[in-house]
Amino acid sequence: MIERIQVVGAGGRVGSAVSARLAERGLLLDSDEPELVLLCVPDRAIAEVARGIAPGPWIAHVSGATPLAALDPHGRRFGMHPLQSFSKARGPEQLDGSWAAVISETDAARARGFWLAETLGLHPFELDDESRAAYHAGAAVASNYLVTLRHAAGSLLEAADVPPEALDPLMRRVIDNGFELTGPIARGDWETVERHLATIREQLPELEELYLVLAEATAAIAGRRRPSDTVSQGSVRSAKVCRTIPELRAELAGRDARSVGLVPTMGSLHEGHLSLLRAARAECDTVVMSLFVNPAQFADPADLGRYPRDEARDVALAGEIGVDLVFAPSADEMYPDGFQTWVEVTELGSTLEGEFRPGHFRGVATVVLKLISIARPSRVYFGQKDAQQVEVIRRMIRDLALDVELRVLPTVRDADGLALSSRNTLLSAEERRRALALSRALATRDPAAARELLTDSNGLAVDYVEIADFDPPVLAGAVRVGDTRLIDNVPLEGDNK
């Protein structure tokens, strides 16, 4: 059909494989009078190169993304896009067995496009010029995003001290097996999925969103839904709310629970709380969330009064995550008339936060001990966000030989670095902007530099910025922005979360 072909861009990745194959087929490549000029140049150069070619011969490009109009003013034209990823390190055999899109406007162009593809050893198929974007997006997902997935999967293996190359035969076999879906989502094993999520949140939080999106998409393929969407094992998930101590105890007694996880909160839940709840869900048979704005840890009644509360939303969120029981007692239930027994972690409870909020940790330790006594958890969950609170609870568990494991999860932050806190909802937009100075200052991991940054920042009153010898040691700080007091810290050892 065609005997004389000129390849422009024969040194490139596609051009070198194509030229080598055409040479093997004995097609004249260096002809002065080509019947076909094949443009194997970068996409952005196609239009300019095409304009520089005198009208006459057929002209074609090998781009997946570029419309035929780029070949103007030529009328005898087509596109032929090999659906393959090419490497200069390999030869024409890269073409063998690959498919190729032929984009044409006339029968004559279509015939030439099919002939070229078949001559190169490709399987041609027709593609509309208008459908290119969808086609090319599909190709990019299959090839480029496979690389992205390999990176993501590789970093998870590295986190487990396993060489990432171990994944490669697995990935190849999935393709060889015709992309048959196996694994936890295909089986409907959501507990394993939650365990994956818990570890990703702890070790590689930047992968959480990707994992979730892929899990949802995979669930759709498997014809299953994640239980947090609607149902689990046939029943709608909702957390049962218990208001009294006997009620909670009765609920717990009625459950065949090998392990109970307790997540103490003051409500107004945000992603920080949710990370603790998800970890508890993944690790325990029964999850209890307490929802109690503990008056004993507020010295200032005004501060207690303005603390944000939204029980209905909190209970709904807890239910979505799979919390079994929400313990939401009244103040009288926790501190009945005549209450006079307090837990005081003396030294740890009187520095830093303890100095600025006298009695705060006495209130915290007392309520946490009481919650542990009521729910009898095997694990209690706290956030590193409140590093001193963690230290106080750890000390109390040791000193009183409490039979409970302390689980501490990393601080969850907004994209701009501000640590999530229920109190953030009390900030105006302007205050929130100023509050950012705290996380930025602590990120220096240097108390002097942090203090300097905070002193310079407009309108923040600094209570303290100090290194605290906790486990791990942290640079901790507390500031007041308007009427709102915020605390934050960065670990100085470990994974720096």
**Shortest spacing between CB 381 and ligand AMP, in angstroms:** 7
CB nearer ligand AMP, residue 71 or residue 276? 276
**Shortest spacing between CB 452 and ligand AMP, in angstroms:** 25
Rule CB under 6 A: is residue 366 a binding residue for ligand AMP?
A: no
Choices 93-101, 314-322, 405-413, 449-457 (CB under 6 A): range interacting with ligand AMP:
405-413
Q: Can you tell me which of 63, 66, 104, 265 binds ligand AMP, judged by CB under 6 A? A: 265
Rule CB under 6 A: is residue 21 a binding residue for ligand AMP?
A: no
**Shortest spacing between CB 85 and ligand AMP, in angstroms:** 41
Cβ-closest position to ligand AMP: 383
Rule CB under 6 A: is residue 385 a binding residue for ligand AMP?
A: yes
Rule CB under 6 A: is residue 314 a binding residue for ligand AMP?
A: no
**Shortest spacing between CB 156 and ligand AMP, in angstroms:** 22
Query: Within positions 422 to 451, which residues make up the interface with ligand AMP, using CB under 6 A?
Result: 422
Rule CB under 6 A: is residue 377 a binding residue for ligand AMP?
A: no
Expressed in angstroms, the distance from the first to the final Cα of the chain is: 66
Rule CB under 6 A: is residue 273 a binding residue for ligand AMP?
A: yes
Q: Write down the catalytic residue from 74, 81, 136, 273.
A: 273
Q: How many residues bind ligand AMP (CB under 6 A)?
A: 17
Rule CB under 6 A: is residue 287 a binding residue for ligand AMP?
A: no
Query: Within positions 161 to 220, which residues make up the interface with ligand AMP, using CB under 6 A?
Result: none
The mark string for 34-63 relative to ligand AMP (x by CB under 6 A, - otherwise) is: ------------------------------
Rule CB under 6 A: is residue 388 a binding residue for ligand AMP?
A: no
Rule CB under 6 A: is residue 383 a binding residue for ligand AMP?
A: yes
Residue 111 near residue 78, CB atoms below 8 Å: no
Choices 130-138, 192-200, 236-244, 265-273 (CB under 6 A): range interacting with ligand AMP:
265-273
CB nearer ligand AMP, residue 80 or residue 263? 263
Choices 10-18, 112-120, 202-210, 272-280 (CB under 6 A): range interacting with ligand AMP:
272-280
- 288 DSSP β-pair partners: 262, 325
Q: Can you tell me which of 17, 382, 476, 490 binds ligand AMP, judged by CB under 6 A? A: 382
- 379 DSSP β-pair partners: 261, 405
**Shortest spacing between CB 408 and ligand AMP, in angstroms:** 8
**Shortest spacing between CB 293 and ligand AMP, in angstroms:** 8
Q: Can you tell me which of 103, 420, 426, 438 binds ligand AMP, judged by CB under 6 A? A: 420
Q: Count CB atoms within 10 A of the CB of residue 255.
A: 12
CB nearer ligand AMP, residue 18 or residue 374? 374
**Active site annotation includes 273:** yes
Using the structure block, give the residue that is written with the tokens 């330790």: 365
Rule CB under 6 A: is residue 412 a binding residue for ligand AMP?
A: yes
Rule CB under 6 A: is residue 387 a binding residue for ligand AMP?
A: no
Rule CB under 6 A: is residue 239 a binding residue for ligand AMP?
A: no
What's the per-residue H, E or C state across the chain?
CCCEEEEECCCCHHHHHHHHHHHHCCCECCCCCCCEEEECCCHHHHHHHHHCCCCCCEEEECCCCCCHHHHCCCCCEEEEEECCCCCCCCCHHHHCCCEEEEEECCHHHHHHHHHHHHHHCCEEEECCHHHHHHHHHHHHHHHHHHHHHHHHHHHHHHHCCCCHHHHHHHHHHHHHCCCCCCCHHHHCCHHHHHHHHHHHHHHCHHHHHHHHHHHHHHHHHHCCCCCCCCEECCEECCCEEECCHHHHHHHHHCCCCCCEEEEEECCCCCHHHHHHHHHHHHHCCEEEEEECCCHHHCCCHHHHHHCCCCHHHHHHHHHHHCCCEEECCCHHHHCCCCCCCCCCCCCHHHCCHHHHCCCHHHHHHHHHHHHHHHHCCCEEEEEHHHHHHHHHHHHHHHHCCCCCEEEEECCCECCCCCECCHHHHHCCHHHHHHHHHHHHHHCCCCHHHHHHHHHHCCCEEEEEEEEECCCCCEEEEEEEECCEEEEEEEECCCCCC
Rule CB under 6 A: is residue 421 a binding residue for ligand AMP?
A: yes
CB nearer ligand AMP, residue 216 or residue 495? 495
Residue 417 near residue 443, CB atoms below 8 Å: yes
**52-91: burial string, b at 16+ Cβ within 10 Å, e else:** ebeeebbbbbbbbebbbebbeebebbbbbbbbbebeeeee
Rule CB under 6 A: is residue 365 a binding residue for ligand AMP?
A: no
Rule CB under 6 A: is residue 419 a binding residue for ligand AMP?
A: yes
Choices 41-49, 154-162, 220-228, 413-421 (CB under 6 A): range interacting with ligand AMP:
413-421
What positions carry a catalytic annotation?
Answer: 273
Binding residues for ligand AMP, rule: CB under 6 A, are: 265-266, 272-273, 275-276, 382-383, 385-386, 409, 411-412, 419-422
